[in-house]
Amino acid sequence: MKHQQVLDKLAAKGHVRALDEELARWVHWQMVTPLPSHEELTRDVVTPVLTRWRCLLDSEEARPATRNVVRVALATLLHKYGFQDPAVTAAAVEAVDALNRDVVLSDAFARRSDDIKRLLCSAPVPLTRRPGSPRSLTFLRPGDVLSIELGGRFHAAYVWKVHGLNETPVIEFYAGTFAQPPTLADLADGEAARPGGRARFGVDGLTYLPDPANQVRAVAAGQDQGPRGGEPGPGQGLYTLSDVMTLQRNMADLFGGEIPGSGS
């Protein structure tokens, strides 16, 4: 059975497309430098992907069927790009059974379930060349205010501009973290997380809103005022180049703490 045959049966084109784009871009950049061992490369690829998508997989707001479909898609796409995580694979196998038990997908999916499980449990073939990196695209707009989750805490960010033809948003984080997605009232007259433009990032791959991974949420749109005090001074860079996966490391550095580890 082929990976695309599995993905086509999941009836979740938006989630599959977003996951595929993010993995292609992330694996592409991880393979630019001289490759570490495959075990190290697997860790470097898988951990931030799981951290981001856990915002959906652990969410009580998301439908169980959606979470199970994404579990299967995640294991399938990791396998497609030559990676495997035992916890992810085990969760996907359980998700296949749950999807069949709840009659969520088609008869074709149910008939091929054993083949799907065999594919996911088989040893993946490591890539010998970098996958193509998809063009950066964003549906965010200047003046958008966002909530971005990391490790169960929520951080607010403001979209200052979008570079290119709807390509790369430049965001700036507000100071402070929140136990739940902040409201616009929580951010009234809010200051930047750090002065001198050090809380500003140009983020490739920050594409969709609503975010399929449930990590990024809309707080407000069309706001004229962003965080105060973050304007870069003479000789300081305007912003730091990043991407949707590396942004999690940027956030951990900015607000303190560690990126959560992998798991199911």
Rounded mean pLDDT of 170-187?
Answer: 97
Q: Which pLDDT belongs to residue 37?
A: 84
Instruction: Work out the pLDDT band at 264, boundaries 50, 70, 90.
Output: very low
Distances from the Cα of 252 to the Cα of 49, 53, 90, 130, 177, angstroms: 15, 17, 29, 28, 11
State the helix-helix crossing angle for 38-57 and 13-30, rounded to 10 degrees: 150
Residue type, 27: V
Rounded mean pLDDT of 72-92?
Answer: 97
Which are the contacts of 188, defined by CB distance < 8 A and separation ≥ 6?
none
Instruction: Work out the pLDDT band at 256, boundaries 50, 70, 90.
Output: confident
Q: Which pLDDT belongs to residue 39?
A: 87
Instruction: Work out the pLDDT band at 16, boundaries 50, 70, 90.
Output: very high
Instruction: Work out the pLDDT band at 25, boundaries 50, 70, 90.
Output: very high
pLDDT in tens, 88-128: 999 999 999 999 999 999 999 999 999 999 999 999 999 98
Query: Rounded to two decimals, what is the model's pTM?
Result: 0.93
Residue 206 has pLDDT above 60, yes or no: yes
> Radius of gyration of the chain from Cα atoms?
19
